[in-house]
Amino acid sequence: MWKSSNRRLAMSQLTEVTPVGGDLKQYRRRYLLVNCLFVNDSASALFDSIERDHVRPLLKDLGFRKRALTFSRARDGLTDVVSLQRSTGNTAGHVRFYVNCGVYSSEFSTVLGQTVRDRPREGDCQFRCRMETLVPEAPQWFEIEAFQYRLATEDWVRARGIYQSIRAEFGSEDRWPRIDENLKRHVPPAELARVCAVVWNG
């Protein structure tokens, strides 16, 4: 549920983009898009929460320090580096990211006449690879899809908010039945009526 301060902020945003006497359908569409935004249902927000709540604590326990999306750990004259790299093709509802790994040697950099890095990035490492090279069973990339994530975590309220925002955006298009069918395939039958409830005829 929203906090009242979030509701007021959302409505103030809505007032700014909805002219007085504007089209009611556009008003409702914008309201749903603002609603989806302010409950942090974007895949980017989910990526941030997964990094903060899962990746960061795991690597911290292993001795890594964090800077942006790069984690580093010094050991025996070497530095281990792990970085998360977002795909350039990400959208509001979908994030793909890669896990890059590297090992940096300050001694090797000195021999090569390069500037020694105290906090090397993955691109500074002499040995670099993706995680699946080190862990063959790991996937080539990881994906976060906001709607599926809310369903997987049984957050039916936010799943419904995402469904409604997608309907507001695409419900009037000829391809909506195909989109709708695809979305509903991911919803458990027992929750179908609640998640995919129609708020208005789009």
Would 165 be classed as within a structural domain?
yes
Same domain, 95 and 54: yes
Same domain, 190 and 126: no
Residue from 123, 122, 124 nearest 114 by CA: 124
Q: Which domain holds residue 83?
A: 47-145
Same domain, 116 and 102: yes
State pLDDT tens for residues 35-81: 433 334 578 888 998 899 999 999 999 999 999 999 999 998 899 99
Residue 97 Cα to chain centre, angstroms: 9
**Torsions phi, psi for 110 (to 5 deg):** -65, -45
Same domain, 60 and 114: yes
| pLDDT of 25 over the 80 cut | no
Same domain, 137 and 151: no
Whole-Å CA distances, 44 to 40, 50, 148, 197 = 9, 10, 14, 25
Q: What is the pTM of this model?
A: 0.65
State pLDDT tens for residues 130-163: 999 999 899 999 988 888 888 888 888 888 888 8
Say how many domains are in the chain: 2
Cβ neighbours of 8 (radius 10 Å): 11
Would 85 be classed as within a structural domain?
yes
